Structure 1
Amino acid sequence: MSKRILIVDDDQGLVAPLKEGLESVGYRVSVAFDGLQGVLQAHQAKPDAIILDFQMPGGGGHTVYERLRSSPDTAGIPVIFSSVISADEIRSRVKPGPNTFFLRKPMGLGQFIAILNSVLGLSVGAAPEEPFSPVPPPPAVRPTLAPAPAKAEHAPQSHRGHVKPAKVRFHEFNVRVTYADTDKMGVIYYANYLRYFEQGRVELLRSLGVRYRDLEVQRKLFIPVVETGCRYLAASRYDDLLAVRTCITDMGKASITFKYLIFDEEGGRRKVADGFTRHAVVNDLWRAVRVPEDLRKLLEPFVGEMPA
Protein backbone atom coordinates (compact mmCIF):
# COMPACT_ATOMS: atom_id res chain seq x y z
CA MET A 1 0.00 0.00 0.00
CA SER A 2 1.49 3.35 -1.02
CA LYS A 3 2.17 6.12 1.45
CA ARG A 4 -0.46 8.83 1.95
CA ILE A 5 0.62 12.47 1.97
CA LEU A 6 -1.56 15.43 2.97
CA ILE A 7 -0.55 18.87 1.64
CA VAL A 8 -2.03 21.81 3.58
CA ASP A 9 -1.23 24.98 1.63
CA ASP A 10 -3.34 27.80 0.19
CA ASP A 11 -1.01 28.45 -2.77
CA GLN A 12 -2.69 26.40 -5.48
CA GLY A 13 -0.06 27.37 -8.02
CA LEU A 14 2.61 25.61 -5.95
CA VAL A 15 0.45 22.74 -4.74
CA ALA A 16 -0.56 21.46 -8.20
CA PRO A 17 2.97 20.64 -9.49
CA LEU A 18 4.03 19.28 -6.10
CA LYS A 19 1.00 16.97 -5.99
CA GLU A 20 1.63 15.72 -9.51
CA GLY A 21 5.32 15.22 -8.82
CA LEU A 22 4.70 13.17 -5.66
CA GLU A 23 2.02 11.10 -7.39
CA SER A 24 4.40 10.40 -10.27
CA VAL A 25 6.69 8.47 -7.89
CA GLY A 26 3.89 6.53 -6.22
CA TYR A 27 2.63 8.63 -3.33
CA ARG A 28 -1.10 9.07 -2.80
CA VAL A 29 -1.70 12.78 -2.23
CA SER A 30 -4.65 14.73 -0.87
CA VAL A 31 -4.81 18.51 -0.57
CA ALA A 32 -6.40 21.07 1.76
CA PHE A 33 -6.26 24.77 0.91
CA ASP A 34 -6.87 26.12 4.42
CA GLY A 35 -6.06 25.14 7.98
CA LEU A 36 -9.54 23.98 9.02
CA GLN A 37 -9.85 21.60 6.08
CA GLY A 38 -6.32 20.41 6.77
CA VAL A 39 -7.17 19.37 10.33
CA LEU A 40 -10.38 17.64 9.20
CA GLN A 41 -8.61 15.73 6.43
CA ALA A 42 -5.80 14.71 8.78
CA HIS A 43 -8.32 13.09 11.13
CA GLN A 44 -10.22 11.43 8.29
CA ALA A 45 -7.38 10.21 6.07
CA LYS A 46 -4.69 9.46 8.72
CA PRO A 47 -1.85 10.37 6.31
CA ASP A 48 1.68 9.06 6.72
CA ALA A 49 3.04 12.61 6.56
CA ILE A 50 1.70 16.17 6.39
CA ILE A 51 3.31 18.97 4.39
CA LEU A 52 2.17 22.16 6.13
CA ASP A 53 2.40 25.79 5.05
CA PHE A 54 2.84 28.29 7.88
CA GLN A 55 0.82 31.27 6.66
CA MET A 56 -2.68 30.63 5.25
CA PRO A 57 -6.38 31.35 5.90
CA GLY A 58 -8.63 29.24 8.13
CA GLY A 59 -6.00 28.89 10.85
CA GLY A 60 -2.30 29.50 10.30
CA GLY A 61 0.23 26.69 10.28
CA HIS A 62 1.01 27.13 13.98
CA THR A 63 -2.68 26.67 14.90
CA VAL A 64 -2.99 23.61 12.67
CA TYR A 65 0.18 22.14 14.16
CA GLU A 66 -1.04 22.62 17.74
CA ARG A 67 -4.39 20.99 16.95
CA LEU A 68 -2.70 18.05 15.27
CA ARG A 69 -0.29 17.50 18.13
CA SER A 70 -3.02 17.79 20.78
CA SER A 71 -5.08 14.94 19.31
CA PRO A 72 -4.09 11.29 19.91
CA ASP A 73 -5.20 10.45 16.34
CA THR A 74 -2.72 12.80 14.70
CA ALA A 75 -0.06 13.50 17.35
CA GLY A 76 2.45 11.05 15.88
CA ILE A 77 2.11 11.98 12.21
CA PRO A 78 5.31 13.55 10.81
CA VAL A 79 4.73 17.22 10.00
CA ILE A 80 6.97 18.97 7.48
CA PHE A 81 6.69 22.75 7.62
CA SER A 82 7.20 24.17 4.13
CA SER A 83 7.39 27.96 4.15
CA VAL A 84 9.26 31.01 2.96
CA ILE A 85 9.70 31.80 6.67
CA SER A 86 12.93 30.55 8.22
CA ALA A 87 12.95 27.46 10.41
CA ASP A 88 14.19 29.51 13.38
CA GLU A 89 11.22 31.86 13.14
CA ILE A 90 8.76 28.96 12.95
CA ARG A 91 10.42 27.28 15.95
CA SER A 92 9.99 30.49 17.93
CA ARG A 93 6.23 30.41 17.33
CA VAL A 94 5.47 26.72 17.83
CA LYS A 95 6.66 24.04 20.22
CA PRO A 96 8.26 21.54 17.87
CA GLY A 97 8.24 17.97 19.09
CA PRO A 98 9.35 14.66 17.58
CA ASN A 99 8.58 14.09 13.91
CA THR A 100 8.64 17.80 13.09
CA PHE A 101 10.71 19.01 10.15
CA PHE A 102 11.35 22.32 8.42
CA LEU A 103 11.86 23.13 4.74
CA ARG A 104 12.43 26.54 3.16
CA LYS A 105 10.51 27.42 -0.01
CA PRO A 106 11.24 27.27 -2.87
CA MET A 107 12.70 23.77 -3.19
CA GLY A 108 13.15 21.53 -6.22
CA LEU A 109 10.91 18.49 -6.58
CA GLY A 110 13.84 16.07 -6.49
CA GLN A 111 15.08 17.48 -3.18
CA PHE A 112 11.55 17.41 -1.77
CA ILE A 113 11.07 13.75 -2.68
CA ALA A 114 14.46 12.80 -1.23
CA ILE A 115 13.67 14.52 2.08
CA LEU A 116 10.17 13.01 2.21
CA ASN A 117 11.60 9.54 1.57
CA SER A 118 14.07 10.11 4.41
CA VAL A 119 11.33 11.25 6.82
CA LEU A 120 9.29 8.13 6.01
CA GLY A 121 12.26 5.79 6.23
CA LEU A 122 12.33 4.93 2.54
CA SER A 123 15.60 4.27 0.78
CA VAL A 124 16.97 7.07 -1.40
CA GLY A 125 15.32 6.97 -4.81
CA ALA A 126 12.89 4.25 -3.77
CA ALA A 127 9.27 4.43 -4.82
CA PRO A 128 6.82 4.32 -1.91
CA GLU A 129 5.84 0.63 -1.97
CA GLU A 130 3.63 0.75 -5.07
CA PRO A 131 5.81 1.54 -8.10
CA PHE A 132 4.54 4.01 -10.65
CA SER A 133 3.50 2.35 -13.89
CA PRO A 134 4.57 4.65 -16.70
CA VAL A 135 2.06 5.54 -19.37
CA PRO A 136 3.64 5.06 -22.80
CA PRO A 137 4.27 8.29 -24.73
CA PRO A 138 1.98 9.01 -27.69
CA PRO A 139 2.88 7.10 -30.88
CA ALA A 140 5.47 8.77 -33.05
CA VAL A 141 3.60 8.24 -36.33
CA ARG A 142 0.20 9.70 -37.12
CA PRO A 143 -1.06 10.08 -33.54
CA THR A 144 -4.82 10.12 -33.09
CA LEU A 145 -6.34 13.17 -31.48
CA ALA A 146 -8.35 12.48 -28.37
CA PRO A 147 -12.04 13.47 -28.63
CA ALA A 148 -12.48 17.20 -28.15
CA PRO A 149 -14.01 18.39 -24.86
CA ALA A 150 -17.71 19.18 -24.78
CA LYS A 151 -17.02 22.88 -25.29
CA ALA A 152 -14.34 22.52 -27.94
CA GLU A 153 -15.24 24.52 -31.03
CA HIS A 154 -13.70 25.50 -34.32
CA ALA A 155 -12.96 28.87 -35.84
CA PRO A 156 -11.48 30.02 -39.15
CA GLN A 157 -7.70 29.92 -39.29
CA SER A 158 -5.69 32.99 -40.22
CA HIS A 159 -2.06 32.40 -39.36
CA ARG A 160 1.20 31.89 -41.16
CA GLY A 161 3.66 29.05 -41.07
CA HIS A 162 3.90 25.38 -41.80
CA VAL A 163 0.75 24.34 -39.91
CA LYS A 164 -1.98 23.69 -42.48
CA PRO A 165 -5.25 22.56 -40.86
CA ALA A 166 -8.27 24.50 -42.13
CA LYS A 167 -9.79 24.91 -38.69
CA VAL A 168 -8.32 26.01 -35.38
CA ARG A 169 -9.38 24.14 -32.29
CA PHE A 170 -9.30 25.48 -28.76
CA HIS A 171 -9.83 23.96 -25.33
CA GLU A 172 -12.19 25.46 -22.77
CA PHE A 173 -12.94 24.54 -19.16
CA ASN A 174 -14.72 26.11 -16.20
CA VAL A 175 -13.22 27.18 -12.88
CA ARG A 176 -15.03 28.56 -9.83
CA VAL A 177 -13.35 31.50 -8.06
CA THR A 178 -12.46 30.50 -4.50
CA TYR A 179 -12.11 32.82 -1.53
CA ALA A 180 -8.35 32.21 -1.55
CA ASP A 181 -8.19 33.58 -5.12
CA THR A 182 -9.34 37.07 -4.08
CA ASP A 183 -7.56 40.00 -2.46
CA LYS A 184 -8.64 42.52 0.19
CA MET A 185 -10.64 44.43 -2.42
CA GLY A 186 -12.77 41.34 -3.04
CA VAL A 187 -11.61 40.76 -6.62
CA ILE A 188 -9.34 38.08 -8.03
CA TYR A 189 -5.72 38.80 -7.12
CA TYR A 190 -4.03 39.74 -10.39
CA ALA A 191 -1.36 37.02 -10.27
CA ASN A 192 -3.97 34.28 -9.97
CA TYR A 193 -4.93 34.76 -13.61
CA LEU A 194 -1.52 33.30 -14.45
CA ARG A 195 -2.54 30.19 -12.50
CA TYR A 196 -5.71 29.94 -14.59
CA PHE A 197 -3.50 30.19 -17.68
CA GLU A 198 -1.40 27.30 -16.38
CA GLN A 199 -4.51 25.21 -15.77
CA GLY A 200 -5.67 26.03 -19.30
CA ARG A 201 -2.56 24.72 -21.04
CA VAL A 202 -2.32 21.69 -18.73
CA GLU A 203 -5.93 20.74 -19.48
CA LEU A 204 -5.45 21.30 -23.22
CA LEU A 205 -2.60 18.79 -23.19
CA ARG A 206 -4.55 16.42 -20.96
CA SER A 207 -7.47 16.44 -23.42
CA LEU A 208 -5.02 15.04 -25.99
CA GLY A 209 -3.83 12.27 -23.68
CA VAL A 210 -0.62 14.11 -22.77
CA ARG A 211 0.21 14.83 -19.13
CA TYR A 212 2.81 17.36 -18.04
CA ARG A 213 4.25 14.99 -15.47
CA ASP A 214 4.73 12.26 -18.10
CA LEU A 215 6.64 14.66 -20.33
CA GLU A 216 8.88 15.60 -17.41
CA VAL A 217 9.32 12.24 -15.69
CA GLN A 218 9.33 9.83 -18.62
CA ARG A 219 10.63 11.91 -21.51
CA LYS A 220 12.76 14.47 -19.60
CA LEU A 221 11.05 17.23 -21.57
CA PHE A 222 10.29 20.56 -19.91
CA ILE A 223 8.31 23.60 -21.11
CA PRO A 224 9.31 26.55 -18.88
CA VAL A 225 7.68 29.96 -19.27
CA VAL A 226 10.08 32.57 -20.69
CA GLU A 227 7.60 35.41 -21.26
CA THR A 228 4.04 36.18 -20.20
CA GLY A 229 1.49 38.96 -20.35
CA CYS A 230 -2.07 39.59 -19.19
CA ARG A 231 -4.72 42.25 -19.84
CA TYR A 232 -7.37 42.71 -17.16
CA LEU A 233 -10.66 43.61 -18.84
CA ALA A 234 -13.23 43.29 -16.03
CA ALA A 235 -13.34 42.44 -12.33
CA SER A 236 -14.23 38.94 -11.12
CA ARG A 237 -15.16 38.07 -7.56
CA TYR A 238 -15.55 35.21 -5.14
CA ASP A 239 -17.81 32.38 -6.41
CA ASP A 240 -17.91 33.65 -10.01
CA LEU A 241 -17.83 30.87 -12.61
CA LEU A 242 -15.16 31.50 -15.24
CA ALA A 243 -14.52 29.86 -18.60
CA VAL A 244 -10.84 29.58 -19.56
CA ARG A 245 -10.22 29.19 -23.30
CA THR A 246 -6.78 28.13 -24.56
CA CYS A 247 -5.21 27.79 -27.99
CA ILE A 248 -1.70 28.07 -29.47
CA THR A 249 -0.68 31.12 -31.49
CA ASP A 250 2.79 29.98 -32.50
CA MET A 251 4.85 26.80 -32.46
CA GLY A 252 8.49 27.18 -33.41
CA LYS A 253 11.26 24.61 -33.60
CA ALA A 254 11.91 24.80 -29.84
CA SER A 255 9.16 27.05 -28.52
CA ILE A 256 5.39 27.15 -27.99
CA THR A 257 3.19 30.22 -27.38
CA PHE A 258 -0.20 29.72 -25.73
CA LYS A 259 -3.01 32.27 -25.87
CA TYR A 260 -5.76 32.53 -23.23
CA LEU A 261 -9.16 34.19 -23.02
CA ILE A 262 -11.21 34.17 -19.81
CA PHE A 263 -14.97 34.78 -19.74
CA ASP A 264 -17.49 35.31 -16.94
CA GLU A 265 -19.69 32.27 -17.60
CA GLU A 266 -22.63 33.53 -15.54
CA GLY A 267 -22.25 37.19 -16.50
CA GLY A 268 -23.25 37.11 -20.13
CA ARG A 269 -19.91 35.64 -21.27
CA ARG A 270 -18.23 39.02 -20.85
CA LYS A 271 -14.46 38.97 -21.32
CA VAL A 272 -12.61 39.17 -18.01
CA ALA A 273 -8.98 38.81 -19.09
CA ASP A 274 -6.76 37.68 -21.92
CA GLY A 275 -3.08 36.90 -22.10
CA PHE A 276 -0.31 34.66 -23.33
CA THR A 277 2.64 32.59 -22.20
CA ARG A 278 5.68 31.85 -24.35
CA HIS A 279 7.60 28.68 -23.51
CA ALA A 280 10.99 27.26 -24.35
CA VAL A 281 11.28 23.51 -24.88
CA VAL A 282 14.28 22.09 -23.02
CA ASN A 283 15.67 18.79 -21.78
CA ASP A 284 16.68 17.92 -18.22
CA LEU A 285 20.02 19.71 -18.77
CA TRP A 286 18.11 22.91 -19.66
CA ARG A 287 19.31 22.79 -23.24
CA ALA A 288 16.91 23.80 -26.00
CA VAL A 289 15.47 20.86 -27.95
CA ARG A 290 13.03 20.58 -30.83
CA VAL A 291 9.36 20.03 -30.15
CA PRO A 292 9.02 16.23 -30.58
CA GLU A 293 7.28 15.34 -33.83
CA ASP A 294 4.51 13.32 -32.16
CA LEU A 295 3.72 16.22 -29.81
CA ARG A 296 3.85 18.72 -32.68
CA LYS A 297 1.30 16.72 -34.67
CA LEU A 298 -1.03 16.58 -31.68
CA LEU A 299 -0.82 20.34 -31.12
CA GLU A 300 -1.01 21.55 -34.74
CA PRO A 301 -4.85 21.70 -34.89
CA PHE A 302 -4.75 24.17 -31.96
CA VAL A 303 -2.34 26.61 -33.68
CA GLY A 304 -3.87 29.84 -34.99
CA GLU A 305 -5.59 33.05 -33.98
CA MET A 306 -7.68 32.90 -30.81
CA PRO A 307 -11.40 32.73 -31.75
CA ALA A 308 -13.30 35.65 -30.23
Structure 2
Amino acid sequence: MTHLFNLRVYYEDTDLAGIVYYANYLRFIERGRTEWVRSLGIDQGALKAEEGIVFAVRRVEADYLAPAKFDDELVVETTPAAVTGARITLLQEVRRGGTVLFSAQVTLVALSETGHPVRLPANIRLMLH
Protein backbone atom coordinates (compact mmCIF):
# COMPACT_ATOMS: atom_id res chain seq x y z
CA MET A 1 0.00 0.00 0.00
CA THR A 2 2.39 2.66 -1.24
CA HIS A 3 1.20 6.27 -1.35
CA LEU A 4 2.58 8.81 -3.83
CA PHE A 5 2.72 12.56 -3.21
CA ASN A 6 3.90 14.91 -5.98
CA LEU A 7 5.71 18.17 -5.33
CA ARG A 8 7.86 20.71 -7.11
CA VAL A 9 11.06 22.25 -5.75
CA TYR A 10 10.69 25.99 -5.23
CA TYR A 11 13.46 28.53 -4.94
CA GLU A 12 12.79 28.78 -1.19
CA ASP A 13 13.63 25.05 -0.86
CA THR A 14 17.19 25.51 -2.13
CA ASP A 15 20.44 26.71 -0.65
CA LEU A 16 23.09 29.03 -2.10
CA ALA A 17 24.32 26.23 -4.38
CA GLY A 18 20.83 25.90 -5.89
CA ILE A 19 20.19 22.44 -4.47
CA VAL A 20 17.53 21.41 -1.97
CA TYR A 21 18.66 22.23 1.55
CA TYR A 22 19.06 18.94 3.43
CA ALA A 23 16.48 19.69 6.15
CA ASN A 24 13.79 20.33 3.55
CA TYR A 25 13.68 16.64 2.67
CA LEU A 26 12.23 16.13 6.17
CA ARG A 27 9.52 18.66 5.32
CA PHE A 28 8.82 16.86 2.04
CA ILE A 29 8.40 13.47 3.72
CA GLU A 30 6.23 15.05 6.43
CA ARG A 31 3.87 16.26 3.71
CA GLY A 32 3.92 12.78 2.20
CA ARG A 33 3.01 11.20 5.56
CA THR A 34 0.20 13.70 6.12
CA GLU A 35 -1.29 13.01 2.70
CA TRP A 36 -0.90 9.23 3.21
CA VAL A 37 -2.86 9.39 6.48
CA ARG A 38 -5.49 11.63 4.85
CA SER A 39 -5.83 9.20 1.92
CA LEU A 40 -6.66 6.43 4.40
CA GLY A 41 -9.59 8.48 5.70
CA ILE A 42 -7.94 9.33 9.01
CA ASP A 43 -8.68 12.86 10.20
CA GLN A 44 -5.77 13.79 12.47
CA GLY A 45 -7.65 16.80 13.84
CA ALA A 46 -10.61 14.61 14.82
CA LEU A 47 -8.27 11.96 16.25
CA LYS A 48 -6.79 14.61 18.53
CA ALA A 49 -10.14 16.18 19.44
CA GLU A 50 -12.06 12.94 20.00
CA GLU A 51 -9.39 10.51 21.23
CA GLY A 52 -6.69 12.89 22.49
CA ILE A 53 -4.14 11.15 20.27
CA VAL A 54 -1.45 12.75 18.13
CA PHE A 55 1.40 11.29 16.07
CA ALA A 56 5.00 12.29 16.79
CA VAL A 57 8.22 11.37 15.04
CA ARG A 58 10.32 9.20 17.36
CA ARG A 59 13.17 8.36 15.00
CA VAL A 60 14.37 9.14 11.48
CA GLU A 61 17.17 7.26 9.75
CA ALA A 62 17.93 9.11 6.53
CA ASP A 63 20.19 8.71 3.50
CA TYR A 64 20.88 11.58 1.13
CA LEU A 65 21.74 9.93 -2.17
CA ALA A 66 21.60 12.66 -4.85
CA PRO A 67 20.64 16.34 -4.92
CA ALA A 68 17.33 17.78 -6.06
CA LYS A 69 17.42 21.19 -7.69
CA PHE A 70 15.20 24.18 -8.28
CA ASP A 71 12.09 23.38 -10.35
CA ASP A 72 12.53 19.59 -10.14
CA GLU A 73 9.33 17.57 -10.02
CA LEU A 74 9.60 15.09 -7.16
CA VAL A 75 7.52 12.24 -5.80
CA VAL A 76 7.43 11.24 -2.14
CA GLU A 77 6.72 7.53 -1.81
CA THR A 78 5.39 6.39 1.59
CA THR A 79 5.12 2.70 2.42
CA PRO A 80 4.12 1.28 5.81
CA ALA A 81 6.66 -1.26 7.08
CA ALA A 82 5.22 -2.13 10.52
CA VAL A 83 2.31 -1.14 12.75
CA THR A 84 2.13 -2.07 16.43
CA GLY A 85 -0.11 -0.93 19.25
CA ALA A 86 1.42 2.53 19.55
CA ARG A 87 4.12 2.64 16.85
CA ILE A 88 4.20 2.99 13.07
CA THR A 89 7.31 2.44 10.97
CA LEU A 90 7.33 3.85 7.45
CA LEU A 91 9.73 3.69 4.55
CA GLN A 92 9.82 6.91 2.58
CA GLU A 93 11.67 7.86 -0.58
CA VAL A 94 11.94 11.09 -2.52
CA ARG A 95 12.36 10.38 -6.23
CA ARG A 96 12.97 12.37 -9.38
CA GLY A 97 11.81 10.18 -12.21
CA GLY A 98 13.28 6.76 -11.52
CA THR A 99 16.13 8.08 -9.36
CA VAL A 100 15.94 7.86 -5.56
CA LEU A 101 17.36 11.10 -4.14
CA PHE A 102 16.57 10.57 -0.46
CA SER A 103 15.38 7.62 1.58
CA ALA A 104 14.30 7.38 5.20
CA GLN A 105 12.93 4.97 7.72
CA VAL A 106 10.62 6.91 10.03
CA THR A 107 9.21 5.70 13.33
CA LEU A 108 6.07 7.45 14.57
CA VAL A 109 4.50 7.01 17.99
CA ALA A 110 1.00 7.71 19.21
CA LEU A 111 0.97 10.13 22.13
CA SER A 112 -1.64 11.49 24.47
CA GLU A 113 -1.97 15.25 24.74
CA THR A 114 0.25 15.04 27.84
CA GLY A 115 3.01 13.42 25.77
CA HIS A 116 2.66 9.87 27.05
CA PRO A 117 2.60 6.88 24.67
CA VAL A 118 -0.87 5.47 24.01
CA ARG A 119 -2.29 2.59 21.99
CA LEU A 120 -3.89 3.44 18.71
CA PRO A 121 -7.56 2.54 18.45
CA ALA A 122 -8.01 -0.84 16.73
CA ASN A 123 -9.87 0.69 13.76
CA ILE A 124 -6.97 3.08 13.12
CA ARG A 125 -4.40 0.24 13.33
CA LEU A 126 -6.39 -1.69 10.73
CA MET A 127 -6.45 1.32 8.39
CA LEU A 128 -2.67 1.69 8.64
CA HIS A 129 -1.83 -1.84 7.52
Among 209, 212, 221, the alignment partner of 2:44 is 212
Q: CA deviation at 1:213?
A: 2.1
Structure 1 outlier segments of 4+, above 3 Å: none
Aligned twin of 1:222: 54
Aligned twin of 1:259: 91
Aligned twin of 2:3: 171
Among 88, 108, 113, the alignment partner of 1:279 is 108
SS of the residue corresponding to residue 105 of structure 2 reads strand
Among 104, 119, 128, the alignment partner of 1:290 is 119
Distance 2:25 2:108 in 1: 17
Aligned twin of 2:77: 245
RMSD of equivalent CA atoms: 1.2
- Please state which structure has a larger fraction of its residues in strand: 2
Q: Which runs of 5+ in 1 are unaligned?
A: 1-168, 301-308
Aligned twin of 1:15: none
Structure label with greater radius of gyration? 1
TM superposition score normalised by structure 1: 0.41
Matches within 5 A, 1:1-40: none
**One-letter amino acid of the counterpart of residue 170, structure 1:** T
Distance 1:218 1:237 in 2: 41
Distance 2:102 2:32 in 1: 13
SS of the residue corresponding to residue 206 of structure 1 reads helix
SS of the residue corresponding to residue 298 of structure 1 reads helix
Distance 1:299 1:284 in 2: 21
CA offsets, 1:205-245, max 9 Å, x none? 11111122222233211111111121111111010000110
CA offsets, 1:54-73, max 9 Å, x none? xxxxxxxxxxxxxxxxxxxx
**One-letter amino acid of the counterpart of residue 240, structure 1:** D
Distance 2:50 2:120 in 1: 15
TM superposition score normalised by structure 2: 0.94
Aligned twin of 1:185: 17
Aligned twin of 1:203: 35
SS of the residue corresponding to residue 234 of structure 1 reads coil
Distance 1:198 1:171 in 2: 13
Bigger relative CO (Cα 8 Å, ≥ 6 apart): 2
Distance 1:197 1:213 in 2: 19
Size of the aligned set, in residue pairs, is 129
